[in-house]
Amino acid sequence: MAIRSELAGFSTAQARRALEGLPRCDYEVVVRPLRYRWAPHLAARCEFEERRIVLQVPIPFKPFREPVIYAARRKRGEGMRFAWASETVSFRGRRDVLRFLYCHEWLHWYLYEVLGKGSSAETACDRFALRNFRRRYVTTDDADAALKRRSLKARATG
């Protein structure tokens, strides 16, 4: 997997070490700075035409918290209304940000390139990233588990 860092003070070797243990893809991975106005936040994209995943790290970096929506359930009644399930995640360092963003974008890649499905599954990608970005090793089995819908009974028990 080709990894390149365009982030000042963060080498390609550091980026490679940060992403160690995560599943690989055949896209180039580019680490770029994210200049923000008010507060640091998450930003990344999977560019299918260019076969590239771009991960953006907030500059200047300071620890921050970000709500992550990992599930939605349709509400009864008219219209398309949802009850969202979310968790607020603390990002203490650049490594946390890179691993979370890579897991999220990797699942878009996996859906599109490996499974041949549409790549727009934001809650599934967030669920996969949320469950796995701090784990030492992550596999495609973990991705398949994130894509499975659990019954209400299974969700209630754990």
The pLDDT tens digits for 136-151 are: 999 999 999 888 865 4
Assign 153 a pLDDT band (cuts: 50, 70, 90): very low
Choose between 123 and 30: higher pLDDT: 30
* Token duo for residue 52: 């590239």
**Which residues, including other chains, have CB under 8 Å from residue 80's CB and lie 6 or more apart?**
74
Count of CB atoms situated within 10 Å of the CB of 53: 25
Task: Examine the pLDDT at 66 and tell me if it is beyond 60.
Answer: yes
Q: What is the pLDDT of residue 49?
A: 95
What is the mean predicted confidence (pLDDT) over 77-97? 90
Q: Radius of gyration (Cα) for the chain, nearest Å?
A: 16
CA distance 158 to 74: 21
Residues spanned by the domain of 149: 3-157
Task: Examine the pLDDT at 158 and tell me if it is beyond 80.
Answer: no
Beta carbons of 124 and 143 less than 8 angstroms apart: no
- Return the bridge partners of 59, or none: 35
What is the mean predicted confidence (pLDDT) over 23-42? 95
Look at the chain and report how many structural domains it folds into. 1
Task: Examine the pLDDT at 152 and tell me if it is beyond 50.
Answer: no
Q: What is the pLDDT of residue 157?
A: 53
